[in-house]
Amino acid sequence: MAKSKYEQIYGLHAVQQILATDISRVYELWVQEGRHDAQLQAMLTQVQQQGIAIHTVPRKTLDKLTQVAHHQGIVIRCQTRPLETQPTLETVIATVTTPPFLLVLDEVQDPHNLGACLRTADAAGIHAVVIPKNRACGLSGVVRKVASGAADTVPLIPVTNLATTLRWLQEQGVWLVGADSHSQISLFETRLTGPLALVFGSEGTGLRRLTREICDVLVHIPMLGTVASLNVSVAAGVCLYEAVRQRRGLTD
């Protein structure tokens, strides 16, 4: 199936990011009638100045348009970014000026988790997020909404064969650290400096066997309570910020 020429983006932060960085892609905008908050009005003024069509509609129209209830009263229709303009992992590795810092998500299915991971990845300074093309959540309106603009600041790179990509990263000198609750090695006892990719598995089963075998080291997050594990986006946040702490030379 051919990729659609247009995509819908909704949510204040996600729309604001597009207007700030790539407003030329925006074709039209829908806004919920009766909304008069300052942030929304500022965006409407910006859109009006560009001559973009604005449709003021009831909330139920936006609910039907997006198929969600949390669109925050604003939806835009914009041109899909051409594939040739999206960075490849090879380009990212070749152009970063600091040691590569990557997040790899192995078959994460929930768009809320992917969106949350993108948002945290942006905050932590991740250079790219790598996902498999198949059996994994891709970029969608829900992902963009939850990511709060990070879907347009952090490259999300789908790859055909994740195992091959991980081995290629190792050849580039990138250290692969996988999160596995069964590991005997603590996250906090593991070096997370230098070229690094943090690897996380799916919500239900964790890392696939081959992914686990390829990783250079597997680590666990110490759990001091009664629950056995953390949500994948929460676990990613914990690990990313332990890496940030180490990479900035901070101490306890």
**Is 185 annotated among the ligand-binding residues?**
no
**Is 126 annotated among the ligand-binding residues?**
no
**Is 34 annotated among the ligand-binding residues?**
no
Q: How many Cβ atoms from other residues are within 10 Å of residue 54's Cβ?
A: 12
Tokens of 126: 């991740």
Question: In whole angstroms, how far apart are CA 27 and each of 46, 64, 78, 79, 137?
Answer: 13, 19, 5, 7, 26
CA nearest to 81, candidates 22, 147, 19 = 22
Number of H helices, E strands in the chain: 9, 10
CB 26 within 8 A of CB 161: no
Annotated binding site for S-adenosyl-L-methionine: 201, 221, 230
